[in-house]
Amino acid sequence: MVRQGGATLDEITKRTVTVAFENRVRLAGSERNPPKNASKAGKLAKDSQVSVTVVVRRNGDGAAPADAGDLDLVERFAHHARLTVVDSNPRKRRVVLTGNANDISKAFGTKLTRYKSKQTGYTFRCRTGALTVPEELHGVVVAVLGLDTRPVAKPHFRKRKAAQATATAFTPIEVATLYDFPKDVFGAGQTIAIIELGGGYKTADLTTYFGGLNVPIPKVTSVSVDGGKNTPGSDSDGEVLLDIEVAGAIAYQANIVVYFAPNTDQGFVDAITDAVHDTVRKPSVVSISWGASEDSWTDQARSAMNAALEDAAALGVTVTAASGDNGSTDGDTDGKLHVDFPASSPYALACGGTALYGSGSKISSEVVWNETANKNGATGGGVSGLFALPSYQNSTRVPKHPETNFVGRGVPDVAGDADPATGYKVRVDGKDQVYGGTSAVAPLWAALIALLNQKLGTPVGFLQPKIYTVPPASFRDITSGNNDDGGHGNYNARSGWDPCTGLGTPNGTALLSALSPAQRVEIPGSAAKPRIAGTWSSADPNQQIAATIVIRRPAQAAALSEQILAGGSPPVSHAVAEQALAANPNDLAVVEAFIQAEGFSIANENAGARTIQVQGTVAQMSAAFGVSIGSVSDASGSTHLTYRGAISLPVDLKDVVTAVLGLDQRPVAQRRRVTAQ
């Protein structure tokens, strides 16, 4: 519903709190430099309509929605600034506003100008400097996107050059066979979301292509975001069709939904947000083949996108992202090392590239993709200069950033065939062609994840903490080659993880086995008791809850207790007794590994009390502890969180964990009252 300022005049006048919106503050991270390789193309008409996305802070951890009061405050400011509220969504933590260029410029303290690209002739809206917001919105608003419409990302595909015409080429199905993808599943019941910032596809191309592969044509749907549409007829068609055809050839029973958005910071962030929070199509995996050097973004845009990717992780949606096609510099001309974003986000599965040689099911050779000498790209990869090293990479020997010594996120996580010389047979705009680039690796991994999800019967979700703990045989380790494209000497392949191909390319069947649920055991006496009779209802899967994991007492503690019960005095000092009662370090380590694999955050760890308090969503808790979490309403109308079934854990936690508390929040005791006689 469109509302002027989010409320009627009567609603506004009835408010008891008056907000002046007089004093203004700088919006952190909103600074913009003038565009490169572009010139001013005249003033923007004052009555031009402008749409912006206002991103609001979280009201909690994980995918927590925005606070209703924060959204209301933004809407009141919109009314004050003569802007229109088009949409206000707490789950997506955003308010979409429209207004004429004059009013919207004043609202955010900037000036809008038209610029024209010297290379493409494309005309776009631009601003420079920082934005400002009313003091009342300081800390509430974390980003304002859409005022500046300069292109922010590039597609990461490479077309094979004529000089490479005699090289090898594969269909996506042949690549999947070489990587031993599961053979008896085709993505049924899964939805693969694909983010596109330009171009389009024609159904005729898909019909011809999939018919030539002798596989059913997958269901492909396009979704418009911020006015973006399926518009074939540009070079970006190669990206769109590469993504659809690679994912669709392997997971042809999956639904493929293409989210088309403008190539702007607003469009990119909104497309990811819409896909992750799409409750109608419900993607289990999102594929992204667009990006740009992580330091080319404004801080606010990068933070907003990273928050959307964090939502995906919290909601159990895997996001695959191409690591770029321009080697260790990511194509930047400053002569320094860079990694590509959003691949550098710790919440994205960053996908690097290789040159793959083989036939049938046998790989004869595989090395790091680097065709810099032929001017046809190299896999992106390296060390982030902005995102800190995530805990799941602690044991991977990610080097410090060679130029800054920053302990950053290592890129990529995984890899796949990307060299145009060993590329993918695709059909683009009526022609059969061969394409490569890490753009092919993101949908390749998205298709594999769709197969894994179907086979496992549950989404693999936030995959990184899991793949860094699986057996090495789950990947083909790439130990030859480098992605140096600027004479830096960085980076080289090596045994184990490296900044060119990550953990390596997939051994699909072995990875499936590694991700399959381990044998589980129930905690004795953990089934919830029916203390309150009432109406059961499912809990919101995104609701954040806490649980306390209780670890067994060590043997020396049991001996100490027996002596005390027998009437004897403790034979040790208080300090030694505390040490004896504390959790065994090995027990703590195995429980911490389980917590990390399930994607929980640790709120408190107390070795002395032998407890670890964890936080996660209802969906995460249900899966981790093998129960169905819901709520019960009693006769008085009060509701309490509880669960059905007995709590179970992986077999390696048998006897280590003695209890999991907090999943059942029904009252356990009654107050004793004495009535005077």
Q: 661: which 2 tokens?
A: 């508390």
CA-to-CA distance for 210 and 247, rounded, in angstroms?
11
Other beta carbons within 10 angstroms of residue 145's beta carbon come to: 26
Contacts of 274 (CB under 8 A, 6+ apart): 92, 223, 225, 259
List the catalytic residue out of 75, 148, 239, 419.
Answer: 239
CA-to-CA distance for 616 and 546, rounded, in angstroms?
7
CA-to-CA distance for 380 and 389, rounded, in angstroms?
18
Active site residue 498: no
CA-to-CA distance for 73 and 554, rounded, in angstroms?
54
The interaxial angle of helices 438-456 and 508-515, nearest 10 deg, is 50
Burial label for 414, CB within 10 Å (0-12, 13-18, 19+), is buried
Contact criterion met (CB below 8 Å) for 261 and 237: no
Contact criterion met (CB below 8 Å) for 559 and 577: no
CA-to-CA distance for 178 and 506, rounded, in angstroms?
9
**Any alpha helices (H) in 181-278, and if so which ranges?**
203-213, 237-250, 265-276
CA-to-CA distance for 47 and 49, rounded, in angstroms?
6
> Rounded to whole angstroms, what are the CA distances from 300 to 27, 104, 150, 269?
9, 18, 15, 11
How large is the greatest C-alpha to C-alpha distance in the chain, in angstroms? Answer: 102
Residue with tokens 């907003």: 304
Active site residue 243: yes
Q: 82: which 2 tokens?
A: 């003569």
Contact criterion met (CB below 8 Å) for 291 and 176: no
Is omega for the bond preceding 134 within 30 degrees of 0, making it cis?
A: no
Q: 174: which 2 tokens?
A: 């042949």
DSSP state for residue 581 in the 8-state scheme: H
Element (H or E) spanning 338, and its range?
Answer: none
Other beta carbons within 10 angstroms of residue 231's beta carbon come to: 16
The count of residues in the chain is: 677
Q: 324: which 2 tokens?
A: 């770029």
Active site residue 239: yes
CA-to-CA distance for 8 and 476, rounded, in angstroms?
61
Handedness of CA 559, 565, 566, 568 (dihedral sign): positive
CA 608 distance to own-chain centroid: 36
List the catalytic residue out of 284, 296, 344, 439.
Answer: 439
List the catalytic residue out of 136, 243, 417, 484.
Answer: 243
Residue with tokens 């999939």: 210
**Amino acid found at 32:** R
| Three-state DSSP state, 527 | coil
Show the CA angle centred on residue 241, arms to residues 238 and 245, nearest 5°: 135
In our burial notation (b when 16+ CB lie closer than 10 A, e otherwise), range 95-125 reads: bbbbbebbbbbebbbbebbbbbbeeeeeebb
CA-to-CA distance for 600 and 618, rounded, in angstroms?
11
In our burial notation (b when 16+ CB lie closer than 10 A, e otherwise), range 369-403 reads: bbbbeeebbbbbbbbbbbbebbebbeeeebeebbe
What amino acid positions are annotated as catalytic residues? 239, 243, 439
